[in-house]
Amino acid sequence: MVKRFLASEQGTAFLSKLAAGYIRLVYGTSTVVREPEDTDAKLFDQHPQILAMWHGQFMLLPNLKPERPAEVKAMVSRHGDAELIGDVLRRFGMDLIRGAGAGKRKRNRGGATAMRESLRALEAGATVAMTADVPPGPARRAGTGIATLSAKSGRPVVPFAIATSRAVKLSTWSAFTINLPFSTLAIVIGDPVAPPRSEDPADIEAGRKAIEQALAETTARAYALAGAADPLSPEEKAKPGAALKTYRLATQLAAPVAPLLLAWRTRKGKEERDRRPERYGIAGTPRPSGFLVWFHAASVGETNAALPLIEHIAQARPDIRILLTTATVTSARHARMRLPQGAIHQYVPLDRTSYLKRFLDHWRPDLAVLVESEVWPNLVLETKATGIPLLLINARMSGPSYKRWRRRPGMSRPIFSAFDLVLAQNERLAEQMAQLGAPKSYAAGNLKADAPPPPVDAAAKADLSAAFWGRPVWLAASTHPGEDEIVGAAHAKIKETLPDIATIIVPRHPERGTAIAETLRSRGLKVTMRSQGGSIDANTDVYVADTIGELGVFYALTPVAFIGGSLVKHGGQNPVEAIKLGAAVLAGPHVHNFREMYADLLKAGGAREVADAATLADAVLDLLQNEVARKEVHAKAEACVAMMTGAMPKTLEAIEAYFPEKVPLQHAS
């Protein structure tokens, strides 16, 4: 009943009356300081003008100047909470313009209507008040809307800020601030920002940056006068919240568990016994002299994304030393096979402060480059504490992970603000990284679209092709637990139509080979394991290729490839490698780790989605039996991948900007 009342018109009127009274209370009980001293005069010096503030700082706006010499209209969005905000503004004699920019969201929030109404209001002689940053953020980044309004109207933007010495910060995207009574209340009116010279995109962007800079300076000055800390200043964003403090303490207290964990992982084949000291930060080799770049990639996928960069740097800048750390046995073996001469591989230390300090003290990297989603709190914070430039490249994040980070700003802001630069796989991810606190976040594209395909051993491919005796064959690549049984069931269904069908399974983690074989044999299938040197004959149903570094051979061998990690909720694996080696691609619905990539492929007809054993079998049969359809799917996929490329040069340019100047060779005179 109370909830229903508060949602009604009567409830909105009641709450707005309370809010207006509270605003007057804050002003009435606080000591007001102003800059300049006569802020009232400066406030409307440029009338009609565009009054700009940051989104999280607008609570005290309505009473900024109780007796206004001119009409003021405030831009308020159309969402439910805005009804209350609008009612509060009306109580202070301000008219409304309904609508707001959509930022990066596709949903219409009335931005075009608000722009037209704002232009009419300014033409009619009214001042327009609006927030410069746009939900859902990032906070304190001015949108293009305010610069466009200034350009179209020819009216300046006047930045202002209000801060109090006592306040409560909410965990919202803009760190919305509730100002408290009995404070020092600072009001700062900044110098007007002239409108952009034209509506050309370059001029609008220059105007946007000028507005953003003016608002940043005005806000910083207001907090300084109030004697308070700005919740979104770099210093405050870097302060750990309770969750981060708890995590750091827990990792310290967990020291006795580390040996037990590593011993268990060693028994499971997930650690190399003789290299376990590296997991404690104990180096296995001396640090080379010279400028050292440290790349960190978690597993095989991230390693594959980093290797072309490493290879380019090793060739173009032989004076640069390279260290690559990974976390899995598979990626370590992969790195040993493909790293250029002179590059060093080590296992990354466990995420404990003392281990990381030991690692950093030994290696003393001059630049740290993390790949994709390897955002371990202690690793990031300890690296930042050393003053090393810290980059996150090919950055990605699943939707659920992003939501978890957003719910914990006391953890996400200190961590993501530690990165000097984030290069994300697309615009959406770049915005999300910025919203989490990254000071510089840009879309550079997906390195996996630019990476060369995995190597193909021609002799191994020829031997396998001969072993399958011309039988129809398809591949299930990078499978995860729960998928191999589905692949086995699909094989049995396909066999009803193609009795001589052969299925190849390449598990994401080769150590699962024996378990996969046992499971499929229990279902009556004849299984051969590559790791055991088993021979393929006419009765072999499934060939389990549980070896390292041979995936390229199997992509090149088979015309149809199902990409694993997608029929279970893992998030999918990279489809580009299969496409570049000639296979038509199938995948399940769970591909959120490569969301945009698969969305483009499916829309273009360059891949097909399957949901279970039955649909997987049907798709394999169709593509194996219909060569025209298979070639069409693959051709569309190739065209789609070609459109995705371009991340490599952008990423290299960003990394190389941190390198020392290349010393020219000295020639004898």
Is residue 171's pLDDT more than 80? no
How many CB atoms are located within 10 Å of the residue 238 CB? 15
Task: Single out the residue of 106, 147, 154 nearest to residue 130, CA to CA.
Answer: 147
- pLDDT per residue over 355-368, tens digit each? 999 999 999 999 99
CB hemisphere CA count around 378 (13 angstroms): 22
Residue range 88-104: average pLDDT? Answer: 74
**Coil, strand or helix at 240:** coil
Confidence class of residue 238 from pLDDT cuts 50, 70 and 90? confident
Residue range 341-349: average pLDDT? Answer: 96
Helix or strand holding residue 210 (H, E): helix 201-226
What is the reported pLDDT for 569?
A: 92
- Residue 244 CA: distances (Å) to CA of 14, 248, 351, 380: 39, 6, 13, 12
Rounded distance, CA 182 to CA 166, Å?
8
Rounded distance, CA 260 to CA 9, Å?
62
What is the reported pLDDT for 668?
A: 40
Mention every residue, 6+ apart, whose C-beta is less than 8 A from residue 226: 33, 163, 164, 165, 183, 184, 185, 186
Tell me which of 104-113, 172-181, 460-469 is least confident: 104-113
Tokens describing residue 97: 């313009």
Q: According to the CATH classification, is domain 2-227 in 1.10.260? A: no
H helical segments located in 522-666: 551-557, 576-580, 595-604, 613-625, 627-644, 647-656
Stronger pLDDT, 226 or 451, i.e. the higher one: 226
Is residue 110's pLDDT more than 70? no
Helix or strand holding residue 477 (H, E): strand 473-479
Residue range 634-660: average pLDDT? Answer: 94
Contact 589, 571 (CB under 8 A): no
- pLDDT per residue over 114-141, tens digit each? 899 999 999 999 999 999 998 877 889 9
**pTM beyond 0.85:** no
What is the reported pLDDT for 663?
A: 60
What CATH architecture is 458-649?
3-Layer(aba) Sandwich (3.40)
H helical segments located in 468-590: 484-497, 513-521, 551-557, 576-580
Stronger pLDDT, 293 or 439, i.e. the higher one: 293
How many CB atoms are located within 10 Å of the residue 588 CB? 23
What CATH architecture is 242-444?
3-Layer(aba) Sandwich (3.40)
For the beta sheet containing 95-98, the strands, ordered from the edge strand earlier in sequence to the opposite edge, are 31-35, 184-189, 157-164, 50-53, 127-131, 72-76, 95-98
Tokens describing residue 88: 């509060």
How many CB atoms are located within 10 Å of the residue 547 CB? 16
CB hemisphere CA count around 43 (13 angstroms): 26
Confidence class of residue 109 from pLDDT cuts 50, 70 and 90? low
What percent of the chain stands above pLDDT 70?
95
- Taking each helix axis from N to C end, the angle separating 484-497 and 613-625, rounded to the nearest 10 degrees, works out to 50
Task: Single out the residue of 390, 360, 1, 413 nearest to residue 169, CA to CA.
Answer: 413
- pLDDT per residue over 36-89, tens digit each? 998 888 888 889 999 999 998 989 988 887 676 778 898 887 655 667 777 888
Is residue 208's pLDDT more than 60? yes
Contact 459, 557 (CB under 8 A): no
Task: Single out the residue of 149, 217, 210, 224 nearest to residue 189, CA to CA.
Answer: 217
Tokens describing residue 364: 């003393």
What is the reported pLDDT for 131?
A: 93
What is the reported pLDDT for 666?
A: 47
Residue range 379-406: average pLDDT? Answer: 94
Mention every residue, 6+ apart, whose C-beta is less than 8 A from residue 293: 313, 320, 321, 322, 323, 365, 366, 367, 369, 655, 659
Q: Please provide the average confidence, as pLDDT, over all residues in the chain.
A: 91
Is residue 347's pLDDT more than 80? yes
Three-state SS sequence of 54-88: CHHHCCCHHHCCCCCCCCEEEEECCCHHHHHHHHH
Confidence class of residue 264 from pLDDT cuts 50, 70 and 90? very high
**What residues form DSSP beta bridges with 506?**
477
What is the reported pLDDT for 452?
A: 86
How many CB atoms are located within 10 Å of the residue 339 CB? 19
Residue range 310-326: average pLDDT? Answer: 96
- Taking each helix axis from N to C end, the angle separating 201-226 and 144-153, rounded to the nearest 10 degrees, works out to 110
What is the reported pLDDT for 667?
A: 42
What is the reported pLDDT for 669?
A: 39
Is residue 556's pLDDT more than 90? yes
CB hemisphere CA count around 149 (13 angstroms): 37
Residue range 273-291: average pLDDT? Answer: 96
**What residues form DSSP beta bridges with 536?**
none
Helix or strand holding residue 266 (H, E): helix 257-267
What are the catalytic residues? 302
What is the reported pLDDT for 420?
A: 96
Instruction: Say whether 242-444 and 2-227 share the same fold.
Output: no
Domain boundaries, the chain: 2-227, 242-444, 458-649
Confidence class of residue 303 from pLDDT cuts 50, 70 and 90? very high
What percent of the chain stands above pLDDT 90?
73
Is residue 9's pLDDT more than 80? no
Residue range 520-530: average pLDDT? Answer: 97
Tokens describing residue 56: 């999280």
Contact 565, 480 (CB under 8 A): yes
- Residue 328 CA: distances (Å) to CA of 223, 357, 375, 442, 650: 47, 21, 16, 29, 28
**What residues form DSSP beta bridges with 562?**
476, 586
Contact 187, 206 (CB under 8 A): no
- pLDDT per residue over 11-30, tens digit each? 778 888 999 999 999 999 99
- Residue 451 CA: distances (Å) to CA of 386, 437, 596, 661: 32, 29, 17, 27
